[in-house]
Amino acid sequence: MSSLSAPYRALTVGMITLVTLVAFEAVAVTTAMPTVARALDGLALYALAFGGALAASVVGMVVAGAWGDARGPAGPTWAGVGLFVVGLAIAGTAPDMWVLVGGRVVQGFGGGLVVVALYVVVGRAYPAELHPRVFAAFAGAWVLPSIAGPSVAGLVVEHLHWRWVFLGVVLLAVPSVLLILPGLRGLPPTPRGAADLSVVRWAVAAAVGVGLLHLGGQRGGVDAVVLIGAGLAGLVLATPRLLPAGTFAVRRGLPSVALLRGFAGAAFIQADVFIPLMLTRERGFSPWAAGLTLTVGGLAWSVGSWYQSRLGQRFAPSARLTAGLALIAVGVASAAAVVAPAVPVAVVVGGWLLGGLGMGVSYPTMSALTLRLAPAGTEGRSSSSLQLSDSLHSTTVLAVSGTLFAALVATSPPAAYLTGYGLAFVLAVAGVFVARRTAVPVATDARVPAPVG
């Protein structure tokens, strides 16, 4: 049986379509936003248009986890899709930049609900042996938008209007909703309980921290230091309350899986951001040519996802995760090597192919392992923790490295790049050791207690 067998086909296709739309919107808005800011005379709110959506998604993830565990995933899925579409409609018809930012906040909250709710749907609707394949399909759903999204968005902005970058996704969301409707109705009933929303206040604190980091990354001088410092303080206070207890102590099992997700995501995106910048500024590549390196990584990610869902199942999850993080470390090291002018660019192309493979092997494995290790009835909160760790680690690392890069690049570009790559490499290597802590004794492998607090 496969995830595309008759009982699951419509649900699988519908969920993959939703993930693809969320991915496309995340990529396309980056391309369109400079035009949007000029058209709405809102350059001063440029950073807030991104930071507001990201901060709102953090809160949405936490709410979806608590709601899904208490009442099942159908409610947060419908609410998430509805708010995502409403936010897009608001942004696509916005008369000024403040309204657009408001639409982005609504969209971000809805997207956070959807991402976590779909993880819970997988846990409730599919047998455990199909989880790796479904999560591999989710990972693959990000590949095409990552490759084609910027070009498609650019064509839409140039030949139609920037508003269709938002409104076009609204039209495409309707068929995907119709596809998942029967599957959601057929989910086994969930014992109805009271959603524990006490953790939402910590999610709000983390969201404020994320917003401040994002704003600080767009500033310079003392303003950047103050904003980033305040953001980091908020995250240090809130994050331990949002992730599984023992995450930062590298407790064996689910806490280590959550920490590993943060390390892997932050290491990969850190290098992914700096590679095209380095190739265009220091090697004279065109943006299109520099972007091909990232395309190679995206395609390799898809191949790695396919491999782990089929042939890779012969190896223990901890072994796959260890190999995946090691490949990411090799990819980051290849980027650092190309800082030296004598090293050919082919080194980073080949290295980033390995890094993409590492992500493809690691991400679906961590998603499936989270559902496997989550105590019964906590699939929502456990999945929320996984997504939160990814978002919070990546945002924090990018903000810190961006500040250091800005301070160094004028006087020593090699030092600026090596600082960014060095931070990514440390995270990837640390992840190799954390991956070993994801293994649990066979007797308790299916459901080990892993409280979240």
User: 165, 183, 201 — which closes off a domain?
Assistant: 183
Average pLDDT over residues 64-73: 80
- 154 and 13 within one domain: yes
Most confident of 11-20, 26-35, 436-445: 11-20
Structural domain contains residue 197: no
Conformation bin of residue 192: beta by default, left when phi > 0, alpha when psi is -120 to 50 = beta
Strand partners, 244: 452
pLDDT, residue 188, reads: 65
Structural domain contains residue 216: no
Under 8 Å CB-to-CB from 33, ≥6 apart: which residues?
46, 49, 50
Structural domain contains residue 424: yes
Q: How confident is the model at residue 450 (pLDDT cuts 50, 70, 90)?
A: very low
**Residue 21, domain extent:** 1-183
Average pLDDT over residues 24-40: 78
Using an 8 Å Cβ cutoff, are 242 and 370 in contact?
Answer: no
- 164 and 257 within one domain: no
Six-digit token pair at 388? Answer: 């939160």
In the chain, the percentage of residues whose pLDDT exceeds 70 is 88
Structural domain contains residue 192: no
CATH at 269: 1.20.1250.20
**Gap between the Cα atoms of 3 and 232, Å rounded:** 41
Note the pTM of the prediction, 2 decimals.
0.78
In the chain, the percentage of residues whose pLDDT exceeds 90 is 23
Least confident of 185-189, 251-255, 320-324, 366-370: 185-189
For the segment 96-124, what is each residue's pLDDT rounded down to a tens digit? 989 998 999 999 899 889 888 888 888 77
Most confident of 234-248, 370-384, 432-446: 234-248
Average pLDDT over residues 230-241: 87
By three-state DSSP, how is residue 244 classified? Answer: strand
Structural domain contains residue 376: yes
- 248 and 346 within one domain: yes
Which H/E stretch holds residue 204?
Answer: helix 200-217
Structural domain contains residue 143: yes
- 281 and 353 within one domain: yes
- 144 and 20 within one domain: yes
pLDDT, residue 421, reads: 93
Most confident of 126-130, 341-345, 443-447: 341-345
Conformation bin of residue 221: beta by default, left when phi > 0, alpha when psi is -120 to 50 = left
pLDDT, residue 312, reads: 66
- 287 and 172 within one domain: no
User: 183, 199, 227 — which closes off a domain?
Assistant: 183
263: nearest Cα among 394, 358, 362, 365: 394
Total tally of structural domains belonging to the chain: 2
Average pLDDT over residues 175-195: 69
- 139 and 66 within one domain: yes
- 436 and 316 within one domain: yes
User: 163, 183, 203 — which closes off a domain?
Assistant: 183
385: nearest Cα among 188, 124, 199: 199
Under 8 Å CB-to-CB from 349, ≥6 apart: which residues?
292, 293, 296
- 174 and 248 within one domain: no
Q: How confident is the model at residue 172 (pLDDT cuts 50, 70, 90)?
A: confident
By three-state DSSP, how is residue 184 classified? Answer: helix
Average pLDDT over residues 355-383: 86
- 252 and 174 within one domain: no
Residue 214 CA, distance from chain mean position? 16
**Gap between the Cα atoms of 306 and 311, Å rounded:** 8
Least confident of 47-56, 237-246, 361-370, 423-432: 47-56
Listing DSSP states for 371-435 in one string gives: HHHSPTT-HHHHHHHHHHHHHHHHHHHHHHHHHHHHHHTTT-HHHHHHHHHHHHHHHHHHHHHHH
Q: How confident is the model at residue 282 (pLDDT cuts 50, 70, 90)?
A: confident
pLDDT, residue 103, reads: 93
Structural domain contains residue 206: no
- 164 and 258 within one domain: no
State the Cα angle at 270 between 42 and 409, rounded to 5°.
75
DSSP 198: T
Strand partners, 234: none
Average pLDDT over residues 400-405: 80
pLDDT, residue 58, reads: 82
Whether 213 has a pLDDT exceeding 60, the answer reads yes
Q: How many helices (H) and strands (E) does the chain have?
A: 15, 0
Whether 432 has a pLDDT exceeding 60, the answer reads yes
Structural domain contains residue 219: no
Q: How crowded is the C-beta side of 167, counted as CA atoms within 13 Å?
A: 11
By three-state DSSP, how is residue 452 classified? Answer: strand
Using an 8 Å Cβ cutoff, are 76 and 67 in contact?
Answer: yes
Strand partners, 452: 244
- 425 and 304 within one domain: yes
Neighbours of 309 (CB within 10 A): 25
